[in-house]
């Protein structure tokens, strides 16, 4: 039997003043895991807390694209191989719930109007996301990784996209191996400049280092130092098959928090 744990972040550029907001989400996940909840349930519900918090560029706090639209991405992957992701959804306060609904479907991902039509058919909330103007912290997406008593690991991520980006732009959050990667024994989530994360295939490469024997901090530091172009603000969280999760960024601006159950 595994020891439940969770680690979450509020984005590479969110700022340390938002740590308490992330800690609230972690507390929700911790309570669910202690009560016997699954890694998927804990990761999704903690991510919903962050989507509902206007302090973050995800869900209700998402920024406008250059044409004034608000388009949301989200993803989830489980260590048993299942995944779901949605891209460029409108009128969806909690896109992570829609992504999670795809875990047991034949398809992995949906985008745009098709994703919203799927959500409507399934009864997910359809309501305007008001959005907010672009701001200097362009990279504060959210992410949660949870491990339950069975050893299952799940990573949930959500974003409104970087500030000052066009409506068709796709960042790292919904791309497997880039903004997220989970397989047996490890889960990784990235945040920051999505193009740099995607070019570096960052989450997958960190996971491979961890499975190869490096510890979480070593693996994250290696990726931040060796897999990114200069000047790309990026943060990473990771959780293994045992022990506490860890987070690290190449700036001091990423709020992150972890929890592990007592033995």
Q: Is 60 a residue of the active site?
A: no
Angle (CA) 138 143 145, round 5°: 160
d(CA 206, CA 218): 9
Instruction: Kindly compute the dihedral angle of the four CA atoms of residues 97, 245, 12, 208, in this order, to the nearest 10 degrees.
Output: -90
d(CA 104, CA 260): 28
Catalytic residue among 60, 92, 141, 157: 141
Q: Are 56 and 131 in contact, with CB atoms under 8 Å apart?
A: no
Q: Round to the nearest angstrom and report the end-to-end CA distance of the chain.
A: 11
Q: Which one-letter DSSP state was computed for residue 242?
A: S
Catalytic residue list: 141
């Amino acid at each position: 039997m595994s020891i439940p744990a969770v680690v979450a972040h509020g984005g590479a550029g969110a700022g340390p003043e938002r740590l308490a907001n992330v800690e609230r989400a972690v507390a929700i996940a911790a309570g669910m895991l202690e009560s016997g909840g699954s890694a998927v349930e804990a990761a999704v519900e903690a991510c919903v807390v962050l989507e509902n918090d206007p302090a973050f560029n995800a869900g209700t706090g998402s920024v406008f694209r250059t044409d004034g639209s608000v388009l949301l991405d989200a993803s989830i992957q489980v260590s048993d191989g299942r995944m779901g992701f949605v891209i460029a959804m409108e009128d969806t306060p909690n896109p992570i719930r829609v992504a999670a609904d795809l875990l047991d479907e034949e398809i992995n991902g949906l985008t745009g109007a098709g994703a919203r039509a799927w959500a409507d058919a399934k009864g997910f909330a359809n309501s305007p996301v008001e959005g907010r103007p672009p701001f200097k912290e362009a990279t504060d997406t959210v992410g949660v990784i949870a491990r339950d008593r069975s050893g299952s690991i799940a990573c949930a991520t959500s974003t409104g996209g970087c500030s000052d980006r066009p409506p068709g732009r796709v960042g790292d959050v919904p791309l497997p191996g880039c903004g997220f990667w989970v397989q047996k024994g490890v889960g990784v989530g990235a945040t920051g400049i999505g193009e740099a994360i995607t070019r570096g295939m960052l989450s997958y490469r960190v996971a491979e280092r961890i499975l190869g024997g490096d510890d979480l901090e070593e693996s994250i530091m290696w990726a931040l130092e060796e897999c990114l172009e200069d000047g790309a603000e990026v943060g990473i969280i990771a959780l293994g098959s045992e022990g506490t999760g860890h987070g690290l960024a190449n700036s001091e601006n990423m709020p992150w928090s972890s929890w592990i159950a007592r033995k």
